[in-house]
Chains A and B, each alone.
Chain A
Amino acid sequence: MFERIIARMPLLLMVAVVVLTVQVAFVQNRRTERVVAAVPLAIVTLLYFRAGRGGGGGRGSRGRARSERSRSEAEA
């Protein structure tokens, strides 16, 4: 369990930083314009997750696994 969490740590850290910013900027201080600072990281986090680097395999990794499977089937 702990190893699975550690394997996903970069993704979890990125999500945590975005959540922290929303908490501090929007929830606590109502400074919506400050939340803009987290938008680029949120986009990078989404791209990272889609690339299947979350540790558990996002949509990207599933797609890649499918294409690798179909390639090996075609080679066979």
Chain B
Amino acid sequence: MTVDHEGLRLFLALGFFFAGAHAYAKLSPYFAATWFGAGLVFGYFWTGRQADLESLLTPALVFYIAAAATKGLVESREGLAGNHVVHVLFTGLFSGIAALPLLACAQLLGVDLPGESVGPAFLSDVPASVLGHVSPTLFAAWVVAGTVFYGAYKTLDHVGLGKPLQTIALFVSAAFLPQLVGVVLGG
């Protein structure tokens, strides 16, 4: 079996669907719709409005895997149960970790995934071989993107808006969050 560009697309589409099914069944239909909807908006604007399937689907999928890992490894610990800042930071870190192998695959298959090419100067000193020849800047971009996305989701979830207003605010903010990622990375 050989995985090519179309194979990677199919993998991301199935992953997106099954992650959505998990969110729908285990959390709530509202969560599934807002998380993956906002993720699609985020992906669309992060790639400069290129509507490639892989660019649209990857951010929401990666952030969901990262949030699930955070829930399993960090939020379940008694000492960290209510610490939202730690949850957001770990989701960012896990976003980078979950994106790394997908970025490596995408580069080998000649597929463009979203990410920033600029970043702090110290990242250029990190050898790319440490991250499987994925640029440290790209890894940092996914860490910041995961942090920003989950941070915005948590903030809007806890600020006390009603669900309709919260949904509108989330979808609108998702369009501007990629710019915030660029600002954080110094782009």
Contact = CB atoms under 8 A, between A and B. Distances in A.
Interface in A6-62: 6-7, 9-10, 12-14, 16-18, 20-21, 23-25, 28-29, 31, 33-41, 44, 47-48, 51, 53
A10 B131 contact: no
B73 interface: yes
Contact of A20 (B65, B105, B134): B105
Contacts of A73: none
Given A37-B134, A53-B72, A21 B104 contact: yes
A63 B62 CA distance: 30
Q: Binding site of B, secondary structure by majority: helix, strand, loop or mixed?
A: helix
Interface in B34-55: none
A36 B129 CA distance: 8
B132 A37 contact: yes
Contacts of A16: 11, 15
B2 interface: yes
B163 to A, nearest CB: 24
Q: Binding site of A, secondary structure by majority: helix, strand, loop or mixed?
A: helix
B130 interface: yes
Contact of B129 (A7, A9, A28, A33): A33
Contact of A36 (B11, B26, B64, B132): B132
B65 A10 contact: yes
B21 A37 contact: no
A36 B104 CA distance: 9
Contacts of B65: 10, 13-14, 17
B104 A37 contact: yes
A34 B104 CA distance: 6
Contacts of A24: 3, 8, 104-105, 108-109
Nearest to B132: A37
Interface string B94-109: 1001101111110011
Given A17-B65, A41-B100, A36 B131 contact: yes
Interface of A: 3, 6-7, 9-10, 12-14, 16-18, 20-21, 23-25, 28-29, 31, 33-41, 44, 47-48, 51, 53
